[in-house]
Amino acid sequence: MKVTNYTENLVYASSEMRWHRQVVEILTAELNDVLQQPESDQLHWTGSVTDLIETVYAVYEGGQITDIAGFTVPFIRLLEVVATRLHVSMPGNPYSRLAKARSRKGVYQISVMARFCTMVASGDEQSGLLRRYLE
């Protein structure tokens, strides 16, 4: 009985990690697309600032967005560029906001990554994960 529970937990954790990796890949591609668009497009973020911080941090952790020299762009610099492009005021302490977001519990305040993972798991990512928050 305990072996089955352990195995079930491993399978669940493995699938959860797979969804998370897939979400990060999708978000990285979509964020790259947003950053490549001309500034005249006037994109605006309609979600919360905390959701934007969580999203940018997930992309940063993926390490796929690099500068001209090939180094990973620092989180704060990436957040500044994205916030400016999406017309969001840069928060005073993004790391504090991130820590508070990660400590959320319960169904009412579910993290943006958990929402994105649910969308990917249900096959609802075709219209774009970030597009839901852009106008």
Tell me: the pLDDT tens digits for 84-114? Answer: 999 899 888 999 988 887 777 655 667 777 7
Range in 47-61, 63-77, 115-129 the model is least confident about: 115-129
Q: Output the CA–CA distances (angstroms, integers) from residue 74 to 11, 57, 80, in the order listed.
A: 33, 10, 10
Collapse the DSSP code of 134 into the 3-class scheme (helix H, G, I; strand E, B; otherwise coil) and give the result: strand
Q: Computed from CA positions of residues 30, 32, 37, 40, in that sequence, does the dihedral angle turn out positive or negative?
A: positive
- Please tell me the number of Cα atoms within 13 Å of 39 on its side-chain side: 6
Tell me: the pLDDT tens digits for 11-68? Answer: 444 566 777 788 888 888 888 888 888 877 788 999 889 889 999 999 999 888 888 8
Collapse the DSSP code of 63 into the 3-class scheme (helix H, G, I; strand E, B; otherwise coil) and give the result: coil
Q: Which carries the bigger pLDDT value, residue 116 or residue 83?
A: 83
Find out whether 59 and 102 touch, Cβ atoms under 8 Å.
no
Q: Please report, for the chain, the start and end positions of each structural domain, with discontinuous segments joined by +.
A: 2-133
Per-residue confidence at 125, pLDDT binned at 50, 70, 90?
low
Q: Rounded to two decimals, what is the model's pTM?
A: 0.78
